[in-house]
Amino acid sequence: MSGGPFLFSSVPALSAPQRMSVRRIIRAGQQTACTWHFRLDEPAWHEFVQYLVDDPVVFVGLWCDGNEIYALLNDGSTAEAGPRPLMASYTLEGPRYRGLSGVRAAAAPFERMIRDLWGVEAMEASDTRPLIDHGAWTSAAPLATRSVPSSPASGLAEFEPPDKRVAAHGMIFGRGPATGNTEGPVHFRLGVADGVIRTVETRAGYAHRGITARMREATLASALHLAGRVGAGSAVAHQWAFSAAAENALGIETQRSTNRCRVVFCETERIATHLLILARTARAADAQIAATGLYGLRERILQLCEAATGHRLLMDCVCFGREAPECWQDNVTVREKLQALCGELMSFSRSGMKELELLWRTIPGFRQRLQQAGRLSDAKARALELQGVAGRACGHGSDLRTHLEAYDDALFRPVVSSGGDALTRCDVMFEEISESFRILESISEQLLNSHDNGETGSGPAVVMLAEPCKGYAAIEGPHGPVWYVVSLQDGRVRQCYISDPASRLLMALEQSVPGTTPDNFDLVRCSFGISIAAADL
């Protein structure tokens, strides 16, 4: 054999085939006018669902408009990248579509609501029970184009057959939907055997108000008002998320002063909501002295909010494109009021919180009762893609505030723990309250500086586009991330899709209660801080 030496280095290396991913499948679809929304055909949708099993994308929500099914994902971990929306849609060719709940458990409530409202059924769904249709509606699938009169129903809630051990040696306890207590209307079915709860099922939907349907064709002001009524404990988070999504759709960049005001509203709401959850948990655990102190501190905060803004729960304080509603008039006065509010909150609340936290830790037997009660494992939290306090108490989940530009001026650290029980969730809330006070302290020092920098607070001129436009936003609320996707045209809302953490928290409650004694059920339920109204929309 003649010729020179064969140089292996000159042979081009064989490239390894790239692994198919959900991101690649979606982006191979038909791109819409929105850069993060792609339409898939039926084979691509099936492939998309198949690869969802172990892909790192985070499931956010699933919705329907009668013509298409929309799946919103976050492209990667929110802990690492923050909000990066990726939406896939599939045009319906009949009353069925390939469901997602078989591979992403958190999709189940969305699929059930789509079936109740639109009559579109998810194939291979993990749960096919009605969610909000209790048989009392005059028509089946009321939002569908061809809605038909509903057939008479028994009105009895549908539940799965009881556990064999419960059926043989235990009993079934029903709780709700109307109890006269502070929780929203929800029916819990507890299967008890051998002194512990073995199964728990929830039947919700009693608080459904048709929020998203009422937003369709509404003005921005009317839709913003409705967003503040999704859940009383997260009104600011929802109105901020709606406003930010609409601003994103219209290409409006908010001033730093507007963002700072929103941060003040949101962190004050977080403190008040955490205090309420802690107080209810303490009362459920028979720690009345701690509950009384927590209720009292929250009431004082609500009184300060009312004096500063006219709203105890800060509803309607977030305004589209500007710092505050026009009825507040002088925007410099708005900043002065909020700076004064921050000062008053910190002057008495920090000392009060230290006393309450010390009391919380020293009541005999209290912490021992919370420990191991309602424990949610890290694996279950990950399967639900749980975030917010409940997720971070399992060592899982992220805090969107670390990625939001509005918090660039704020000094705080995300609180993450492990344990996953009621005690850990409460400890995380105490820590988050302290961090919220730090945020308020750092923001309050800069509120008036915006005026010195020439920011008027009235915001940029808002131009309503005649052509359709779409925007998104994600805000870290007291219970976890709140997502909004808004479609606008001619100054009105064409569609609004909402994802609130409440539906996942209900699923987490169901999975954490088994093994808990019946007398601890209420304290476990309260420690999750579930807003039934937000779950039912």
Residue 448, pLDDT score? 72
Domain-embedded: residue 449: yes
| CATH (domain of 364) | 1.10.645.10
Q: At what angle do helices 235-250 and 256-284 cross, to 10 degrees?
A: 150
Residue 516, pLDDT score? 92
Shared-domain flag, residues 128 and 276: no
Mean pLDDT of all residues in 5-11 = 42
Whether the Cβ atoms of residue 170 and residue 192 lie closer than 8 Å to each other? yes
Domain-embedded: residue 1: no
pLDDT at 450 over 70: no
Shared-domain flag, residues 420 and 291: yes
Task: Enumerate residues 6+ apart whose C-beta is below 8 A from 32.
Answer: 38, 39
Residue 6, pLDDT score? 39
Whether the Cβ atoms of residue 213 and residue 428 lie closer than 8 Å to each other? no
Shared-domain flag, residues 536 and 430: no
Q: State the SS3 of 447-504.
A: CCHHHHCCCCCCCCCCCCCCCCEEEEEEEECCCCEEEEEEEEECCEEEEEEEECCHHH
User: Residue 180 burial (CB < 10 Å; 0-12/13-18/19+)?
Assistant: exposed
Sheet holding 58-64, edge to edge: 30-31, 37-40, 85-91, 68-74, 58-64
| CATH (domain of 527) | 3.30.390
Residue 250, pLDDT score? 92
How many residues can be counted in the chain? 537
List Cα–Cα distances, 333 to 174, 255, 506, in angstroms.
52, 17, 42
Report the distance separating Cα 423 and Cα 230, nearest Å. Answer: 28
pLDDT at 109 over 50: yes
Residue 80, pLDDT score? 66
Quick one: what percent of the chain has pLDDT higher than 90? 64
Q: State the SS3 of 356-408.
A: HHHHHHHCCCHHHHHCCCCCCCHHHHHHCCCCHHHHHCCCCCCCHHHHCHHHC
Residue 156, pLDDT score? 66
Confidence category of residue 150, pLDDT binned at 50, 70, 90: confident
Residue 411, pLDDT score? 82
Shared-domain flag, residues 533 and 425: no
Q: At what angle do helices 288-309 and 331-362 cross, to 10 degrees?
A: 180
Mean pLDDT of all residues in 256-278 = 95
Per-residue pLDDT of 368-378, as tens digits, reads: 999 989 999 99
Report the distance separating Cα 204 and Cα 188, nearest Å. Answer: 9
**187, containing H or E segment:** strand 187-193
Structural domain count, the chain: 3
Shared-domain flag, residues 309 and 363: yes
Residue 459, pLDDT score? 58
Per-residue pLDDT of 308-346, as tens digits, reads: 888 999 999 998 877 766 655 555 577 888 888 888 888
Residue 350, pLDDT score? 73
Torsion of CA 377, 380, 381, 383, to 10 degrees: 160
Shared-domain flag, residues 43 and 125: yes
Domain end, chosen from 82, 115, 149, is at 149
User: Residue 286 burial (CB < 10 Å; 0-12/13-18/19+)?
Assistant: middle
Shared-domain flag, residues 170 and 145: no
Mean pLDDT of all residues in 144-149 = 83
Shared-domain flag, residues 399 and 507: no
Pull the structure tokens for residue 27: 């982006």
Query: What is the model's pTM?
Result: 0.92
Domain limits for position 506: 166-206+501-537
Domain-embedded: residue 470: no
Per-residue pLDDT of 470-497, as tens digits, reads: 999 999 999 999 999 999 998 899 999 9
Domain-embedded: residue 236: no
Shared-domain flag, residues 139 and 179: no
Confidence category of residue 135, pLDDT binned at 50, 70, 90: confident
List Cα–Cα distances, 301 to 273, 297, 339, in angstroms.
11, 6, 14
Residue 10, pLDDT score? 45
Residue 11, pLDDT score? 44
CB count in 10 Å sphere of residue 53: 10
| CATH (domain of 122) | 3.30.460
For tokens 């870290």, name the residue.
476
